[in-house]
Amino acid sequence: MAYPRIVVFDLDGTLVDTAPDLINALNYVLDREGLPPVPLASARNMIGAGARKLIERGLEVEGRNVSVEELNRLTRDFIDYYAEHIADESRPFEGLDAALDDLQSRGYRFAVCTNKLEWLSKLLLDRLDMSRRFAAICGADTFGVAKPDPAILHQTIARAGGQSSASVMVGDSGTDIGAARRAGISVVGVSFGYTDTPIAELNPDRLIDHMRDLPRAVESLLKSTG
């Protein structure tokens, strides 16, 4: 049986520049707690580990510790607000559509593997008219595990109808690189996403600075499969 070659994408900071809407939602929660907003430029690198971790990091900036119950409440408030404003300012990164068109013409299939909640991921991609592009959209709650656990990556690929040996991961942070490494899958890093550690220091198999370079990077890693 011939499996399709799969390109698995992280979502926030890889496919879509979601930082403005995520940080607006964080600042909404912080404002309700009487705390000052965090600037977008410095907060971008807080993104990537899910809503709860983003709130924890936002509180840490102000030196605030809260109970588990308070954090649960803040997370619910954040998600409610974020869902209503999920695509106010979020947009796909420049060159994405053309890159996907190119890869699709070569027979590739696409999937999303994110630490965002699945329903929020689908809502965002629906609002941006992108859901149709992906054979699977899987979040941290889909299989009960999150990146860098390799199980979420393996199961996302399986749900998209592929197999790991004919797949490549595309991401912007250590959780993506870590998941791919543990899964034994090649990984393309993007330099325009959200990460505390510069992506080049994480040694992805390929590093791109613009989506126009994605097809060549993917082809170089998967040319012997399929």
Report, as residue numbers or ranges, the catalytic residues. 10
* Single-letter amino acid, residue 11: L
Task: Report H helices in 64-145.
Answer: 68-84, 96-105, 118-127
Residues 31, 25 contacting (CB under 8 angstroms): no
Nearest CA among 133, 139, 136 for reference residue 159: 136
Query: Do you know the residue count of the chain?
Result: 226
User: Quick one: DSSP state of residue 116?
Assistant: S
Q: Could you give the CA distance from residue 178 to residue 87 in angstroms, rounded to a whole number?
A: 28
Q: Could you give the CA distance from residue 25 to residue 90 in angstroms, rounded to a whole number?
A: 12
Q: Could you give the CA distance from residue 56 to residue 67 in angstroms, rounded to a whole number?
A: 11
Show Cβ contacts of residue 72 under 8 Å, excluding neighbours closer than 6 positions: none
Specify which residues 136 forms β-bridges with.
111
Q: Could you give the CA distance from residue 162 to residue 164 in angstroms, rounded to a whole number?
A: 7
b/e 134-149 (16+ beta carbons within 10 angstroms → b): bbbbbbbbbbebbbbb
